[in-house]
Structure 1
Amino acid sequence: MKKTVLITGSSAGIGKATAIHFAERNFNVIATMRNPDKGYDLAAMPNIHVHQMDVTDSSSVCVAIAYGIKTFGSIDVLVNNAGIGVLGAFEATEDKLIQAQFDTNVYGVMHTIKSILPHFRSKRDGTIINISSGVGIIPIPMQSLYDATKFTIEGFSESLSYELATLGISVKIVLPGAVKSDFFKSLITADISAYPDYTAYQNKVLENVRRSNETTGADPAMVASIIFRAATDDKKRLRYMAGKDISLFSKIRRVIPESLFMRLVKKNFEG
């Protein structure tokens, strides 16, 4: 029987690549995004149905899930990919941006999962894949808020996996490292004009982060293939690394002293 996946944040980058990857492998794909007009090219592809959904709006989440169930009879996989990035000095970041960061990256994930759980629970089956980030286990400078949301997703997903396993529902986490995508262009940067003490450091670090993504970042299609593997391999595995950089750094962190590892991070992003 043909399976169905619902993907959040599908208009570009990893989300778009994931929608295409699943569709090419004969999944029904519900590609959701805040503005469906951005998904016109996806809508023209076989097996892909573009639907409006804003993860910060619980009613739109429920409508999209209900659409998927009504259209295909069932949803088998949920990929929580939607996210925003707020970067820069924490002291300079407005409260409304702090709230927006958590509303999308944390509460949006939680609302979407909570909305689909009655469906998964009723059939004692389903897979939830939360897209975290390498910074969810290895934080880097000038991303304290974004990194905090990904750390939250890590802990939330791991704990949730225990209780949902008793109902036949799998929870998995995919951690991309640096990725070549439009995500960096959409990042929100703290206005430090009133905080000149941070100017030189913030500019240097964010430029290094940008360069890392653009020059050595993985292709979103590669990350999509890891997401597909997590959705279909039937393994009881929790975490999937997506990128040589995060795979290497996570291994290094386990074997060297913390102070040495932090110096390594500083060298990579402050140099």
Structure 2
Amino acid sequence: MDFVAALDLPHAVAGLLVGTLVGLTGVGGGSLMTPLLVLFFGVSPQTAVGTDLLFAAITKTVGSGIHQQRNTIDWGIVRWLAIGSLPATILTLIALATVGEIGENANHIIVVVLGAMLLVTSVGLVFQRKLLNFGVTHPLPAAESKRAPVATIVLGVVLGVLITITSVGAGAIGATVLVMLYRRTPIARIVGTDIAHAVPLALIAGVGHWFLGEVDFALLLNLLIGSIPGVIAGSLLSSRAPDKLLRLTLAGVLTVSGVRLLLQ
């Protein structure tokens, strides 16, 4: 099968659009890609999540490599997150596949949780800058900082469950909470740490969905064809883009998508 025959233009364009928006705003691709696949392309929720997880693992591996070169990854925080998230991911996959009514109604559960996560993400987009500024200007006392590893493990558990079910959560929740927990750590290092942690999490969750028969590799290829140049273009244009307007627009889109999924 040659390249032209394999190319599915609508999906490649969707990848280009999502990649560009991710590059422009830094919003996690799962918040945009998964609802797009479900609502506009009619992909089943389980397949959309599984495909998007492997999509995220591949794209974030590239981003993680860049952050490693720039020394903007705190591997200690990554370790604490992974202690919570990786076991939670495996247990969530087992529950989705086997546990009574959960396995039978996995698509319904994914749609409901995904819709709720999109609403949370939209609120986060509106207030993210204020939260980040607060975290930077109000460092935690030393006594509270000592409890940060335990809170980080708990955050990892939450992210493991949410990302496995919906593919949404790392950028939307993870980075913001990490800023509040590690207020003396530069923002760039928090972002790099969040991306590095997302790679094994998305990979394990994505492979789990693959074993459950919930990954479309032809769809994955077409999304990557569009998204890689999109991320590059968006990143190059990000310094010139109206950040506040873009974030408010995205918040509105995610709110509409979340409500549609919940009503569905």
Common fold by TM > 0.5 = no
Q: Answer 1 or 2: higher relative contact order, Cα 8 Å, separation at least 6.
A: 2
Looking at CA atoms only, which structure, 1 or 2, has the larger radius of gyration?
1
Q: Which structure has the highest helix share of the two?
A: 2
TM (normalized to structure 1)? 0.28
Q: Which structure has the highest strand share of the two?
A: 1
